[in-house]
Amino acid sequence: MDYILALDQGTTSSRAILFDRAGRVAALAQQEFRQHFPQPGWVEHDAQEIWVSQLAVARECIRKMAVTQAGHTQAALNIVAIGITNQRETTVLWDRQTGRPMAPAIVWQDRRTAARCDQLRARGHAKRIQQKTGLVLDAYFSGTKLEWLLDHVPGARARAERGELAFGTIDSWLIWNLTGGRVHATDASNASRTLLFNLRTLQWDDELLALLHVPRSVLPQVLPSSGVLGETEAALFGAPIRIAGVAGDQQAATFGQACFAPGMAKNTYGTGCFMLMNTGTAAVPSRNQLLTTVGWQGPAGAAGDQARHHRQATAYSTAYCLEGSVFMAGATIQWLRDGLQMIASADEVEALAASVPDTGDVYLVPAFAGLGAPDWDGHARGTLIGMTRGTTRAHIARAALESIALQVADMFGAMARDAGFALKELRVDGGACRNNLLMQMQADFLGVPVVRPQVTETTALGAAYLAGLATGFWSGADEITAQWAVERRFEPAVADALRSAKLARWRQAVARSRAWAP
């Protein structure tokens, strides 16, 4: 039997999933890895631990499928290609000769370069950066993280200028290791998250490189999201396997949700929340503090350019998206579990929150790492407000769930204003989308249906689709669209007046969190 292997390297775990031709999960393996918080506002990963965990789950996934097929009349297990999707802005700097990281990876949640962003903003660079990259100037992105590493790791800048070091987001780090150091590459979706990539030219930008003092020699080659870019070392899996798909996790999820037409949108509920809307082959500038980003470069027709749909798969087009990013979604529930020890497991939050009819006017603004879209306030701090003597842990749990849906509602409104039309539905995925109470809250706060697909592993599925299209495993966008199916549809169940009052009260709470900035 033929399969595509998707490597889904996330913020808290590494996963591997085998997909069959119907887009169904055939085998899955997952392994968590450690989170490091060396200083307030700092978040780090051990890049070597990420590689070891990702390789381990890939081998485990293949082994599981081989055991399942043993003794049956099926053909031998055949991995046609590998697709990679990854936590995006997390930054790794490594030695080209030894392949060893020069320092811990700086995670996308890390805020250590917020002051540097403030400095660049004060010097008037924010508008130019946004014009070129489509991004808001923020510590979230990897450009200032890379600059920090070059300036703070002893000898790093001099070695980088001599061409001895390599930079990459996690996709590049995995590709390097999978190919035994033969390929140093990324794709346009990941490159567009660095503050160094020009959305119009689709190339690294010399002006931005100079602004952040980044030598071009450390940068990976930018390749299409769907296309064969190399083969794995034979020793890793017993035979070489083509690496044929790469995309940042949120772009991959958008592809996996079959959001191929302009105006189609999805939201992923993971560690954070990330809403993307396909804008087709046009990079639409945001007027409402959203991001303009590359969705993917792939076979023509998957970019919302329907006129090109039937051209050869080797004809590539670029899809662009508008994106809103919420930093704390599933991580908010982890905080209830690990920080407050209010619940023993994340699965308990739905029942606890459902045990009360409302929050009792309690609001949690989970600005533990600042606020993302549409506020973009790196100095805001987590705020729990509205408590009385009657407040219980159930009210706080419900407020935590509501905070996720309310942050998404803010993004949804900003996206509709940028698009110039009302979005008719929201497709959802990610682990927290299985929480029915949260999904109903989401529909209520948005005022439009929330649609959950049968396959919610859409991030990994998107990477698999990109790899499968490049290798002929799937024929095109039509076949992928036909595989997408609804599992449940959540309809809004509150009056417009109540929804408006709720959103207004939420914005009051957000204002309080922003007022706490030093």
Could you list the residues known to form a binding site for ATP, using ranges. Answer: 11-13, 271, 330, 334, 431
Q: Which residues are annotated as a binding site for ADP?
A: 11, 15, 271, 330, 431, 435
DSSP 281: T
Q: Which residues are annotated as a binding site?
A: 11-13, 15, 88-89, 140, 249-250, 271, 330, 334, 431, 435
Residue bearing tokens 């020793």: 235
10-35 burial, b at 16+ Cβ within 10 Å, e below that, comes to bbbbbbbbbbbeebebbbbbbeebeb
Contacts of residue 466, Cβ cutoff 8 Å, sequence gap at least 6: 83, 225, 226, 244, 245, 246, 247, 252, 255, 296, 298
DSSP 471: T
* Beta carbons within 10 angstroms of residue 88's beta carbon: 27
Do β-strands 185-187 and 221-223 pair in parallel, antiparallel, or remain unpaired? parallel
The pair of structure tokens assigned to 12 is 């808290």
Q: Please provide the DSSP assignment of 28-41 as one string.
A: EEEEE---B--STT
First to last CA, the chain: 59
The pair of structure tokens assigned to 397 is 């749990």
Q: Which residue type occupies 93?
A: L
Closest CA to 370 of 39, 148, 139, 117: 139
DSSP 338: I
Q: Which residues are annotated as a binding site for sn-glycerol 3-phosphate?
A: 11, 88-89, 140, 249
| Bridge partner list, 17 | 6, 28
In angstroms, the CA 252 to CA 249 distance is 5
Q: Please provide the DSSP assignment of 190-232 as one string.
A: HHTTSS-EETTTTEE-HHHHHHTT--GGGPPEEE-SEEEEEE-
